[in-house]
A and B are shown apart, each in its own frame.
Chain A
């Protein structure tokens, strides 16, 4: 880059960078050809045109996202909530299964004064019917729910992208087959299937539950990806790639997936929200994550069993579920505006 120092310095205003000996493209015409043609590289000392600071596509997307205040606030709130969940074993004052014992006359018995205690300095969110600290359990619950949500988001995006991508790329009977299969999954009553399956699986660890949910909610992403691929398939750069000898999978992975990354990321984000609410529903109904592993839905369930006058047991986990899902949806909106400007609802 030593041979064109002037043009590359962004600090130099363009009017200065264009010295009198530099003519630019429109005025050049046939005259510039001979100068721009190779062989005489000494002539190639300049770049045509004005200098505009290049901004990458991600740069534009980031700028648009940061302009979306609600989404930005949601990112901060959600990062706070998930951060607390991830760092639960450092932040939580108690373990999630720690039952308070006191020693009376040499035997250790449960400290009944600590059972169903109201929120206080020692127990920020109160305690449950076993005397466990609700604040600690809620933190661990966030961790479980976040883990399920993100895992579902990744897995269902993978399934949906593969199925929708193949359908959109090949079209014809493959499209028909895959999309009718998708329709079939969409007609399944989600909750009924989930409840039955969860019952059959018997042991619901967060991972099995996530796989189960992912296997049922990839349909939305598949439809979106199929639609995008159908239109990308007709793009000339896909034809050009084919003319250059690229195979089907290279075209899909190198050319089509990167061009549909916007809609995919948006859909994946929204799927995380759906997954967290589904997991909460299942756990609330007692088919999801089993005690003692805390999950936000399971905490709600325990809370309502204890009676609604023990308001602290349901209020905090419930508010957190609402906050998480709201944040995710706002982030999804912000991402849509940032990554997929054509779908913007309001012109910014």
Chain B
């Protein structure tokens, strides 16, 4: 394994609310290696966005707060650098692609001005015509037709898919080494989603950036990710490469997620959801956070009382946080190819 680009260790993020303290991210650790795509999946509120946004200081503070943890990027703990240094990292070394392209572009500024600004922020001495040249080139990379004309247009003259392309162009403007895509296709039509996936792949090829892909869309993960993190209630419950996770999931939550997918090859009247609700992050259940909904737990005392650590399965790089993961031996999930978006 090469040296990780980004190492996160024991990250804890809390939000203080009127009802008490919410532990949105509860002690997660993972590494991101150069050039790979790491998918983070989980339900809404599982802490997948917060865990990455907090790295860049982009959670509202207060009420949010990084309580503990380290995040080493190129040897520096970016949770402890000064605001100025962090600003230099944002958009330059680590760039974000936002979920909703309809609201993430400033309506009163031309697309070109916004891409140009992304460059100018980090290269204040760059000449204007050079910036424009680069901006148009970026639009061409992400597949915006007529880039020189589109460069001079306003966001309202762009369709949703074109806007997301422009957003991706902005995020790769400074050739970042880490690209964080926070649900990059959620706000788009299904037909456009497939196109944006292509563009994302293209953007990765162009910048050789390691990508963190945050989504609740398993199809997207199957399509793009090399490794997958499954999060539940602010914790990592399973981590492994994409084929392992899909084909032999070793955490009952992941199994539940896979089972809840509609299958094309089986005739079904009903989808199979995971029973119950995600736990309140203010009053977590003791023991394993998933045990009230778990089909393996079945009232076992160990699940209720002892929190399962994230442990490797049989010495492999496949990690799970379940006491009884071995009981899932032989359980097979869908093939990656059958889940992928088919692009």
A162 to B104 alpha-carbon distance, docked (Å):
25
In the complex, A348 has a CB within 8 A of chain B: no
A1 to B136 alpha-carbon distance, docked (Å):
13
* Known contacts A33-B194, A47-B145; A244 and B343 CB within 8 A of each other: no
Binary interface encoding of chain B residues 74-109 relative to chain A, with 1 for a CB under 8 A from any of its CBs, else 0: 000000000000011111100110101001111111
In the complex, B304 has a CB within 8 A of chain A: no
Of the residues B95, B159, B194, B202, contact of A244 by C-beta under 8 Å: B95
A69 to B307 alpha-carbon distance, docked (Å):
72
Instruction: Assess the A243–B98 pair: CB atoms within 8 A.
Output: yes
CB-CB under 8 A from A46, the residues of chain B are 145
Interface residues on B, range: 35 or more
* Known contacts A47-B145, A237-B106; A245 and B88 CB within 8 A of each other: yes
Interface residues on A, range: 35 or more
CB-CB under 8 A from B117, the residues of chain A are 241, 244, 246, 250, 254
Instruction: Assess the B198–A241 pair: CB atoms within 8 A.
Output: no
The residue on B at minimum CB distance from A234 is B60
Instruction: Assess the A236–B140 pair: CB atoms within 8 A.
Output: no
A4 to B147 alpha-carbon distance, docked (Å):
12
In the complex, A239 has a CB within 8 A of chain B: yes
A288 to B56 alpha-carbon distance, docked (Å):
55
A48 to B195 alpha-carbon distance, docked (Å):
14
Most buried by A among B89, B92, B143, B149: B143
* Residues 115 to 147 of chain A near chain B (Cβ within 8 Å): none
Instruction: Assess the B145–A29 pair: CB atoms within 8 A.
Output: no
In the complex, B153 has a CB within 8 A of chain A: yes
The residue on B at minimum CB distance from A45 is B145
CB-CB under 8 A from A244, the residues of chain B are 90-91, 95-96, 117-118, 121, 170-171
Instruction: Assess the A44–B145 pair: CB atoms within 8 A.
Output: yes
Of the residues A30, A240, A241, contact of B194 by C-beta under 8 Å: A30
Of the residues A4, A48, A243, contact of B90 by C-beta under 8 Å: A243
Instruction: Assess the B146–A47 pair: CB atoms within 8 A.
Output: yes
CB-CB under 8 A from A54, the residues of chain B are 153, 157
The residue on B at minimum CB distance from A172 is B62
Instruction: Assess the B104–A236 pair: CB atoms within 8 A.
Output: yes
A155 to B56 alpha-carbon distance, docked (Å):
38
CB-CB under 8 A from A19, the residues of chain B are none
Most buried by A among B88, B118, B142, B202: B118
In the complex, A25 has a CB within 8 A of chain B: yes
CB-CB under 8 A from B194, the residues of chain A are 29-30, 33
CB-CB under 8 A from B143, the residues of chain A are 33, 36-38
* Known contacts A48-B145, A57-B154, A254-B117; A239 and B98 CB within 8 A of each other: yes
A237 to B156 alpha-carbon distance, docked (Å):
14
Instruction: Assess the A33–B195 pair: CB atoms within 8 A.
Output: yes
CB-CB under 8 A from A41, the residues of chain B are 140
Instruction: Assess the A36–B118 pair: CB atoms within 8 A.
Output: no
In the complex, B328 has a CB within 8 A of chain A: no
Instruction: Assess the B95–A243 pair: CB atoms within 8 A.
Output: yes
In the complex, A199 has a CB within 8 A of chain B: no
CB-CB under 8 A from A30, the residues of chain B are 191, 194-195, 343
In the complex, A259 has a CB within 8 A of chain B: yes
* Known contacts A33-B195, A36-B195; A240 and B145 CB within 8 A of each other: no
The residue on B at minimum CB distance from A36 is B143
Binary interface encoding of chain A residues 181-220 relative to chain B, with 1 for a CB under 8 A from any of its CBs, else 0: 0000000000000000000000000000000000000000
What is the interface of chain A, defined by CB distance below 8 A to chain B?
1, 4, 8, 25-26, 29-30, 32-33, 36-38, 41, 44, 46-49, 54, 56-57, 235-237, 239-247, 250, 254-255, 258-259, 261
Q: Which 9 A-B pairs have the closest CB atoms?
A: A244-B91, A245-B91, A245-B90, A243-B96, A236-B103, A237-B106, A240-B104, A236-B104, A258-B108
Instruction: Provide a sorted-by-A list of 12 A–B residue pairs whose CB atoms are within 8 angstroms.
Output: A33-B198, A38-B140, A47-B149, A54-B157, A236-B104, A239-B58, A239-B104, A240-B98, A243-B58, A247-B87, A255-B106, A258-B109
